[in-house]
Amino acid sequence: MGWAVNVKAIRLFFHVMQRGSLSAAARELHMSQSAASRQLAGLERSTGLTLFSREGQRLRPTAEGALYFTECHRALAAIDELPRAARRLASGARPRLRLVSMMRFVEGLAVPAIGRFLADNPDVEIDLQLIWRADVERLIAFEQFVSPVLSFDVGLTTLPLPNPAIATAPLLELPATVILRRDHRLAGKASIGASDLAGERVAMPPTGSVREQAQQMFAAEGVEWRPQLNPTSSDIACQLVLAANAVTIADPLFPLAHDPEAFALVPVRPARMVRIGFFTPTLAPESRLVAAFKGCLKAEARLIEHKLAQRLKGGPVRSARRRQSPAARASR
């Protein structure tokens, strides 16, 4: 009984924080204001926290009240998910893992990690949604507005991705590489700068962090930046490398996964890095399935590091795990 009363009081506190008013929260929960006031006072007594400072009829959250709100949000999200989970289990539905990924990470990272995951979890249903980098933040913002529980479990994207609704963690830090056919005249170089690419048929997606890096590289050397081919993704740009003898600048995931022997990978000059990581909803408790899939992503990241180190003969491949700060490692 005590726990039920606490959940009711926690939900009241949550609504007060959201509405900014005890009376508005009471109306939302169909309570009298006096009953709501007693519930809130009881919550403060039971927790030992001063959740609000009182200025006449106004309530202002204290610093510890704001921190407690975050924990309550997380707990209520999990509680509210329980009926839906029970209905799924009662209907005989399989446990489900919901993934989102940028397209360029699907073939080289997401799909192998899914295969590894299903080897140990063969009955799990997996949803995989492809998304453009420019849409990642819009997706998060929209779903955060609609519901405190975002409708995905794990996502793959380039970093950084600052947003309080999600937690991010690095997986790989890969060198930006010039990707060419193996028989291209520049394939044997140790590194390639903008001046080397003057007059080449460049294929680059019209937006994205790697394109911005490439533009900066060309501007720094005073070389005109005029890509001839503008495909929608780095994957298609890599296919144009083979089909049209073009060159592109990207992380090397697609060539390594698609057909490593067909491509030459040459680091750009000066060296530039692409950070790849996963993100999860901040307020969602980590389930066993999410933890297992994260482990599969990390295992695939180690394989990619090994493959790329062999191709670049000890070039700049940095493990995101080794570069984490002591505080970040302690939080894992």
pLDDT at 171 over 60: yes
pLDDT band at 122 (very low <50, low <70, confident <90, very high): very high
Determine contact, residues 179/268, Cβ cutoff 8 Å.
no
Domains of the chain by residue range: 2-88, 94-174+275-330, 177-271
Which residues make Cβ contacts (< 8 Å) with residue 94, sequence separation at least 6? Answer: 123, 124, 125
Could you report the per-residue pLDDT of 183-227, keeping only the tens digit for each? 999 999 999 999 999 999 999 998 888 888 899 999 999 999 999
Question: What is the predicted pLDDT for the residue at 247?
Answer: 98
Could you report the per-residue pLDDT of 48-58, keeping only the tens digit for each? 889 998 776 67
What topology does CATH give the domain 94-174+275-330? D-Maltodextrin-Binding Protein; domain 2 (3.40.190)
pLDDT band at 179 (very low <50, low <70, confident <90, very high): very high
Domain 177-271 class? Answer: alpha beta
Query: What average pLDDT does range 126-145 have in this prediction?
Result: 72
Query: What average pLDDT does range 74-84 have in this prediction?
Result: 72
Please tell me if the domain spanning 2-88 has the same topology as the one spanning 177-271.
no
For every residue of 109-176, which 3-state class applies, written as one string?
HHHHHHHHHHHHCCCCEEEEEEECHHHHHHHHHHHHHHCCCCCCCEEEEECCCCCCCEEEEEEEEEEC
Q: Which CATH number fits domain 2-88: 3.40.50.300, 3.40.50.10140, 1.10.10.10, 3.50.50.60?
A: 1.10.10.10
Return the closest-CA partner of residue 96 out of 74, 112, 81. 81
pLDDT band at 327 (very low <50, low <70, confident <90, very high): very low
